[in-house]
Amino acid sequence: MFRILFYTPEIPGNTGNAIRLAAVTGAQLHLVEPLGFDFEDSKLRRAGLDYHDLAVVTVHKDLESAWAALAPTRVFAFTSEGETMYTDVAYEPGDVLLFGPESVGLPTVVKQDAHVTATVRLPMLEARRSLNLANSASIALYEAWRQHGFAGTGTGTR
């Protein structure tokens, strides 16, 4: 239903957690190279536990390849300088939730890419640099999924 896009992730544990997140929510996880690890990394495998086979994960050689494969209608770039609060977005199935590398976040050129619909922020206390990548993706994805009644779970929470 929703697609998570990690632009050049660096920490294997975060991507492993995102693999698990994708598996339990039905989201797709897309990764843009270069990656700061390989898929044999023990931290990646440990964080993803046995969910690797249950998740849809695609690695793209660069951002242009990701755009070509995703053909996105809407892309929300998550950044601490985002103009829109994540709860103010009316998410739609197929939306791409874009996150940058752990050490520096999304580069300006990516935030200004023509595919980006809006820059979005998660609230944090002042003077805090950032929230963990996997946690940020979880918060955003669960809000999008919540707006659609947690489709596929049969919970009927809408």
The 10s digit of each residue's pLDDT in 89-133 is: 999 999 999 999 999 999 999 999 999 999 999 999 988 888 999
Q: Which CATH class is domain 3-147?
A: alpha beta
Is the model's pTM score more than 0.85? yes
Q: Where are the domains of the chain?
A: 3-147
Backbone angles phi, psi at 54, to 5 degrees: -100, -5
Q: Are 133 and 14 in contact (CB under 8 A)?
A: yes
**How does 112-132 read in b/e, with b if 16+ C-beta sit within 10 Å?**
ebebbbebbbbeeeeeeebbe
Q: Which residues are annotated as a binding site?
A: 100, 122, 130
Q: Are 91 and 1 in contact (CB under 8 A)?
A: no
Q: Residue 60 contacts by C-beta under 8 Å, 6 or more apart in sequence?
A: 30, 31, 32, 33, 66, 69
Q: Which residues are annotated as a binding site for S-adenosyl-L-methionine?
A: 100, 122, 130
Backbone angles phi, psi at 41, to 5 degrees: -60, 130
pLDDT in tens, 59-92: 999 999 999 999 999 999 999 999 999 999 999 9
